[in-house]
């Protein structure tokens, strides 16, 4: 049985995908590596096929029409045979010894019949420009090396929100959650770490710097100017998150609070980007988003309205810490708060 399926969505990744794949191969027979060639126009498909033929039973190559990162994640999930599912972006990589430890732990948990719904590990920002790194860990909010529930979770610092990079889901749980990411849309990783959470009852955390998140190439989607250009996609994702959270009555207070915080940050980013862009049409979209929320769930609307400014300075993950500072500065100027 395959313990983990690693899905690697690849779009024109020929220059760097090898490094990513090579760090997954040591998983050997316990893992399945699905390379999803998302309609690339470079050698990505060829490289994927080469790995698949060189490592049969370990690497699969799937070619699809271009559908974006989210569609790659969907395709990987559809084809996954591993008990757990992990997305690794083709420009990022895993720490191989750490990965082996995680697999060994999952194996033991599966054998004892106590396999968690979600495994969480640390991730590391690898900055290309200055060769520095920044580790995000959860030692202050999550118990280590044992099964726990949301009740035992502490309060996450905003820089600590769970990202696609920090989670490994039970594959069946993801399928049960019905999550399907929209095509041709950036920032869908937010949906990935949001919508399935109510299905997650048991968690497990290992203080291992597993995921290496590469930052620094200018075409990456966290660059703030790029974010403004892609504002419609930010809105689309936020709406989907509203849909999955509104009218939800979560028995777990901690989980409810966590999801509320996360959604509020998404609302804040959308709003702030509209403001920065200075375009009238974007401000209209911002107003539409808020009224959409109000129509969906008025209580939630009220909760979030009062929640916004407290959270605005704290942006998760892909948005990045640099952007946080930038937005904070802008917000201060525009809204003259503080």
Partner 1 sequence: MSSAYDCLVIGCGFAGAVIGRELAERAGKKVLIIEKRSHIGGNAYDFTNNDGILLHKYGPHIFHTNFKRVFDYLSRFTQWRDYSHEVLANVYGRLIPVPFNLNSLYMTFEPHKAKKVEEKLIFTFGLNKKVTIGELKAQTDDDLVELADYVYKNIFLYYTQKQWGTSPEHVDPSVTARVPILISHDNRYFQDTYQGMPANGYTSLFENILNHPDITLLLNYDAVSHIKMKDDKVFLDDEEFTGTIIYTGAIDELFSCCFGPLPYRTLDFEFETHDVEWYQEKGTINYTVDMPYTRITEFKHLTGQVLSNRTVIMKEYPGEYTGKNGQIPYYAILNNKNVELYQKYKQRTDSLNDFHLLGRLAEYKYYNMDAIVERALALADQLCCKEGKE
Binding site for partner 1 (CB under 8 A): 18-19, 22-23, 25-28, 55, 58, 93, 95-98, 100
**Please, what is the minimum distance in Å from the beta carbon of residue 93 to partner 1?**
8
Looking at the Cβ atoms of 212 and 286, the one nearer to partner 1 is 212
Of 56 and 113, CB closest to partner 1: 56
Closer of 186 and 214 to partner 1 (Cβ) = 214
List strand residue ranges (DSSP E) for the chain, in order. Answer: 4-10, 31-38, 59-64, 84-87, 93-94, 118-127, 133-136, 147-148, 167-170, 203-215
Least Å distance, CB 20 to partner 1, is 11
**What is the smallest separation between the CB atom of 123 and partner 1, expressed in angstroms?**
14
Q: Among residues 59 and 164, whose Cβ is nearest to partner 1?
A: 59
- Residue 63 or 127 with smaller CB distance to partner 1: 127
Q: Do the Cβ atoms of 105 and 35 come closer than 8 Å? A: no
Give min distance, CB of 62 to partner 1, in A: 20
- 110-145 burial, b at 16+ Cβ within 10 Å, e below that, comes to eeeeebbbbbbbbbbbbeeeeeeeeebbbeebbeee
Q: Of 176, 168, 175, which is closest to residue 118 (Cα–Cα)?
A: 168
CA-based torsion, 260, 262, 266, 272: positive or negative: positive
Which lies closer to partner 1 via its Cβ, residue 104 or residue 298?
Answer: 104
Q: What is the CA radius of gyration of the chain?
A: 20
Query: Hey, CA dihedral for 177, 64, 226, 18, is it positive or negative?
Result: positive
């Amino acid at each position: 049985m395959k313990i983990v399926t690693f899905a690697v969505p690849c779009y024109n990744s020929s220059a760097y995908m090898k490094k990513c794949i090579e760090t997954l191969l040591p998983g050997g027979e316990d893992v399945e590596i699905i390379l999803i060639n998302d309609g690339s126009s470079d050698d990505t498909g060829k490289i994927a096929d080469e790995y698949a033929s060189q490592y049969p039973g370990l690497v699969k190559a799937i070619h699809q029409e271009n559908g974006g990162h989210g569609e790659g994640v969907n395709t990987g999930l559809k084809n996954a045979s591993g008990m757990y599912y992990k997305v690794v972006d083709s420009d990022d990589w895993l720490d191989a010894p750490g990965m082996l430890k995680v697999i060994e732990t999952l194996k033991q948990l599966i054998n004892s019949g106590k396999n968690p719904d979600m495994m969480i590990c640390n991730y590391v920002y690898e900055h290309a420009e200055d060769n520095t790194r920044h580790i995000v860990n959860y030692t202050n909010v999550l118990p280590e090396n044992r099964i726990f529930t949301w009740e035992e979770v502490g309060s996450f610092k905003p820089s600590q929100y769970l990202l696609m990079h920090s989670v490994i889901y039970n594959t069946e749980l993801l399928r049960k959650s019905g999550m399907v990411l929209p095509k041709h849309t950036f920032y869908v990783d937010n949906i990935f770490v949001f919508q399935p959470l109510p299905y997650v009852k048991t968690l497990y955390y290992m203080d291992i710097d597993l995921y290496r998140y590469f930052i620094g190439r200018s075409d990456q989607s966290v660059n703030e100017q790029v974010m403004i250009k892609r504002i419609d996609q930010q809105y689309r994702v936020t709406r989907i998150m509203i849909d999955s959270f509104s009218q939800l009555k979560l028995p777990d207070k901690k989980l409810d609070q966590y999801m509320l915080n996360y959604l509020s940050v998404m609302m804040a980013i959308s709003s702030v980007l509209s403001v920065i862009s200075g375009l009238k049409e974007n401000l209209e979209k911002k107003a539409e988003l808020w009224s959409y929320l109000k129509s969906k769930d008025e209580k939630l609307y009220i909760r979030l309205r009062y929640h916004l400014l407290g959270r605005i300075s704290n942006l998760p993950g892909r948005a990045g810490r640099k952007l946080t500072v930038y937005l904070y500065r802008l917000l201060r100027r525009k809204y003259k708060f503080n």
